[in-house]
Structure 1
Amino acid sequence: MTRQLGNYAKLVKGGRYLSSNQGIFRQNGFGAILNNHCQKNEADFRSALLIRSHHSGNWEKKSSYFGIFGVVIAGAIGGTLLYTSKVYSAEKVNDKGGERRLDLRNIRINEVRKHNSKENGIWVMYKQGVYDITKFVDKHPGGDKVLLAAGGELEPFWDMYTIHKNQHTLDWLESYRIGNLHPEDVKERQKRPVVKPDDPFGYEPTRHPALRTNSSRPFTAEPPFELLADNFVTPAELFFVRNHLGVPNVDVNKFKLEIQGKGVKKPITLSLDDLKKNFKHHTITSAVQCAGNRRAELSEYKPVKGVSWGIAAISNATWTGVKLSDVLTSAGVSADDDSVQHIHLTGLDNDTKNFYEASIPAAQALDGNKDVLLAWDMNGKPLTPDHGYPLRCVVPGTIGARQVKWLYKVTVSDEESKSHWQQNDYKQFNPTIDWGTLDYKKAVPIQEYPVQSAICEPKPNTVVDDDEITLKGYAYSGGGRGILRVDVSIDGGKTWQEAELENIKRPVYKQWAWTLWETTIEIPQDLQGKKFQVLCKATDTAHNTQPEFTSSVWNVRGLINNAWHRVGVSHQQS
């Protein structure tokens, strides 16, 4: 069964749906998406997106659209659900929480860091305050997701999910106060990263502490698996990061985009303001997935080389910009010109010798229906440094390596880019080829991603003590193919249950966003008290289905792992 966001939304708590006579709502984990009274189109869906709260259950209005119709308010501790038709207004908060208190001792940050588990106690920091929330963890409405902040700071999480900043929550937090952060550590936290102009990695930005770093130079990181399916639109702070080189330092006032090459009547140079003023703006919701997503699972079968991605090298965002097809057409480029075969996209990230570059088929770039964007906004705000500020090429339905960040040059050509990343990387080989027999010249660069799905909850090794288990995850297919179905099994694939789907209603073959899914399955008697695996597999609108085993998709570069996803759990009888 598919739930089209744009018709209604649901509120799920413990795998069950709650509704009122005004609408149906859904909440899970960190927060919720509300789309009641919405029209059946993507624009209204975007205007209705809400940040979801894992702690208070409250709803934060992101658009005046919902002020007319009301909001859902859930009690922070009691979990009572209320519905109101009143116009929402932000609560005035007297935020004196975290201010230094003379009656409390100073605590060094190293001591706070040690208290990062239930065994050692859960301490957190807010501004200059230190708090012991160990006794609250089991009462937390969002489950153990609060542990992501254990031994660290609350601000990065509360800056994303600002509904926490209400008077009740701030007063509650102060009741767990045990001390002040040592003044020397306060000064150290306030220091800005040191800029090193001569270092290719000298302009790296500060990242969210929840990101799980896979490599630091270049920086690659993914969000915690358990947070991935909490938001249909991934917060920019939690969007996975795949940098191939250092983050460039770009002065937007001097930034220029160059359009050149075959079929271009006259090379043109455009500032960001030129793009915004001279071309029609478009906004799409589109997922980006690294071709190496789920590589770690392939390594479990047989070692591969590359970033050891888990299941979270994929994220979903709304992007605003202008269509590349419009810009190319304005430069005189025509799809009827036989010399126009490939579009090279060059970024400002470089190693002093080579700039990052990839290419896509010209037929795709020149087709306005393919929605290839030169984007400057992500989730309604300017791109962040890690995601391509000030300009990125968003190529829906295509692997992330082709969606070039920090874009500064577009070249029309009769051949593919000769760059390393187009010719000697991001190519797939059959399972028998190893490094000794590898020949990149015989392989075709990957463009579209095949059908994919993964389980975000439960986490591996979760112990279930109920008679049912709730599973949540994502599904996606490249080329604009939507998700027809996600099947889930807890008995090794003997029987399957179809999951509920959340997606945007879009034309066939223009479904660029991912699909979130969820289902609750009763644990049969023969599995109770035992270890077992939960499985998922997706089928897209072209009826492509994920293959069963990683052995059948294994390749030496560890790319395009879309085998059934498996998570081991165990049941503990009450």
Structure 2
Amino acid sequence: MPGLRAPSEYSREPPRHPSLIVNSKEPFNAEPPRSALVSSYVTPVDMFYKRNHGPIPLLDDLDSYYVTIHGLIECPKKISMRDLWALPKYNVTATLQCAGNRRTAMSKVRKVRGVGWGVSAIGNAVWGGAKLADVLELVGVPKLTSGTTLGGKHVEFVSIDKCKEENGGPYKASIPLSQATNPEADVLLAYEMNGETLNRDHGYPLRVVVPGVIGARSVKWLDSINVIAEECQGFFMQRDYKMFPPSVDWDNIDWATRKPQMDFPVQCAICSLDDVNTVQPGKVKVSGYAASGGGRGIERVDISIDGGKNWVEASRYQKDGFPYVSSDICSDKWAWVLFEATVDISHSTEIVAKAVDAAANVQPENVETIWNLRGILNTSWHRVQVRVGHSKM
């Protein structure tokens, strides 16, 4: 593409924050320490997890960069950044989460394949850009459309990067046209993150942000948008990021039996404590994040200090100065909720957290029941161990 290119090696990677926990160097995949996630409602860019499948693309000339929109539409068009800047700009606060978040806990049950993420392959940002529904209107696709006159029913996003899974081809994914053309779905062609121009790790100069959906559908370094009849047939839609039962392994898997994963389930994790902690007897603060896909709010976060026998309800909050109410118009429906509770610890025990969303979906108790060979969507109760120590006089 003019202006934007994908290197085939890793000699020109961008700088990264030294406190990131690197799970893979090439391609670069890293997450922040979990404690960093509860330091602010909006995750700083340098503390936002990095998920890549190849070398980071390079922009040589923004003025010559454009995105091609074509496929089953009447008016194919090349869209420049100036065209996008001329459209109404929206800021959408949305949480992105890798489908493999908390994979390491799932791998302790049985071996899985994938990047070994802890609990921090998630972040909450304010994304700025044009709504995809407005952009599609420029090529003759009206809002709230589920099909074009030429038979288009899905919108495919194609990156410029090079992935080994695509045999050196680009990363790509799709969403239904009905979602893409719905202004209330808030799908963005984003050029800003937290009020600043996107950086290279997060998709500069342009990326898609699909709120409420696993991060794998929010394609970075956008090259083209294709209106197509069927779902994207790329590797990451058809041979990855699908949810299989525990009975399926690599010897009997049939990828065609499952649809690509879209919305992420209700999820929470404790971030103020590590997996194993030594504390003094007395009051202990338990804080973390909770989120659910599809724009569903968080109705409750429950904390137990006896492994799930008894529970207390944590307080929930988003923006300072605004009380959080699930599904309230003043709440950010695509964003996580931070929670906090103070518990009294007198002896060594296990602290457990589970969240309930606005549709009364509850996290499953055990990881064993949702184990799958790719280790995605580990939304089981989050557990940390605390050992009580006593100060010496």
Does the TM-score normalized on the shorter chain lie above 0.5? yes
Secondary structure of 2:178's partner?
helix
Q: Aligned partners of 2:7, 2:76: CA distance in 1, in Å?
A: 32
Q: How big is each residue's C-alpha offset from its partner over 1:312-371, in whole Å with a ceiling of 9 and x where there is no partner?
A: 000000011000001102211141535231110011111484111001111111100000
* Contact preservation (8 Å) 2:7, 2:55: no
In the TM superposition, residue 509 of structure 1 has moved relative to its aligned partner by: 9.9
The answer to whether structure 1 residue 289 and structure 2 residue 289 are counterparts is: no
Aligned position for 2:225: 410
1:501 to 316, 325, 341: 316
1:50-65 matches, cutoff 5 A? none
**In structure 1, what is the equivalent of residue 136 of structure 2?**
328
Partner of 2:15: 206
Structure 1 residue 217 corresponds to structure 2 residue 34: no
- The one of 544, 558, 567 equivalent to 2:375 is 558
Q: Which residue of 1 aligns with 2:337?
A: 515
Cα distance in 1 for partners of 2:198, 2:44 equals 12
| Residue of structure 2 aligned with 1:273, choices 74, 82, 95 | 82
Task: Give matches, 1:527-542, under 5 Å.
Answer: 528=346, 530-542=347-359
Paired position in structure 2 for 1:341: 153
Question: In the alignment, is the contact (CA less than 8 A) between 1:481 and 1:510 conserved in 2?
Answer: no
Aligned residue for 1:412, secondary structure, equals strand
Preserved CA contact (<8 Å) 1:203 1:248: no
1:494 and 1:350 mapped to 2: Cα distance? 49
Larger C-alpha radius of gyration, 1 or 2? Answer: 1
Counterpart of 1:259 (choices 69, 77, 96) is: 69
Amino acid at match of 2:226: T
Structure number with greater CO (CA < 8 Å, separation at least 6) is: 2
Report the CA distance between 1:460 and its aligned residue.
2.3
**Equivalent-residue separation in structure 1 for 2:22 and 2:63 (angstroms):** 32
CA–CA distance in 2 between the matches of 1:558 and 1:462? 26
For residues 278-334 of structure 1, what are the alpha-carbon distances to aligned partners after superposition, in whole Å with 9 as ceiling and x for unaligned?
A: x11100100000000000000111111100000000000001100000110221114
> Partner of 1:401: helix, strand, or coil?
helix
> 1:460 and 2:283 equivalent?
no
Contact 1:296 1:308 in 2 (8 A): yes
1:202 is displaced (CA, Å) by: 3.2
Structure 2-normalised TM-score?
A: 0.91
Q: Where does structure 1 differ by over 6 angstroms across 4 or more consecutive aligned residues?
A: none
The Cα RMSD (Å) is 1.7
Q: 1:242 aligns with which of 44, 47, 51?
A: 51
* Preserved CA contact (<8 Å) 1:200 1:350: no
CA pair 547-336 structure 1, distance change in 2 beyond 3 A = closer
The reply to whether residue 543 of structure 1 matches residue 373 of structure 2 is: no
**CA–CA distance in structure 1, aligned partners of residues 275 and 235 of structure 2:** 36
Are residues 1:424 and 2:203 paired?
no
Residues 65-214 of structure 1 aligned to structure 2 (within 5 Å)? 199-214=8-23
Q: Residue 560 of structure 1: CA displacement? A: 0.4
Secondary structure of the residue aligned to 1:552 is: helix
Report sequence identity in percent.
Answer: 44
CA deviations over 1:151-206 (Å, ceiling 9, x no partner): xxxxxxxxxxxxxxxxxxxxxxxxxxxxxxxxxxxxxxxxxxxxxx9643233111
Residue ranges of structure 2 left out of the alignment (5+ in a row) = 1-5
> For residues 152 and 313 of structure 2, what CA distance do their matches in structure 1 show?
45
Equivalent-residue separation in structure 2 for 1:219 and 1:490 (angstroms): 37
* Cα deviation digits, residues 211-244 of structure 1 (max 9, x gap): 1000011110000011111110000001000001
SS of the residue corresponding to residue 436 of structure 1 reads coil
**TM-score normalised to the size of structure 1?**
0.63
Cα separation, 1, equivalents of 2:152 and 2:259: 19
**Cα pair 1:482 1:508 within 8 Å, conserved:** no
The residue identity in structure 2 corresponding to 1:424 is R
- 1:513 Cα offset (Å): 0.6
2:3 is aligned to none
Q: CA distance change for structure 1 residues 509 and 572 in 2, over 3 Å: closer, same or farther? A: closer
Aligned to 1:44: none
8 A Cα contact 2:277 2:386, kept in partner: yes
Q: Report the Cα distance in structure 2 between the residues aligned to 1:336 and 1:322, rounded to whole angstroms.
A: 20
Tell me the amino acid that sits aligned with residue 220 of structure 1: N
The 1:414–1:496 alpha-carbon spacing in structure 2 relative to 1, beyond 3 Å, is: same
Matches of 2:381 and 2:357, distance apart in 1: 14
Quick check: 1:350 aligned with 2:137? no
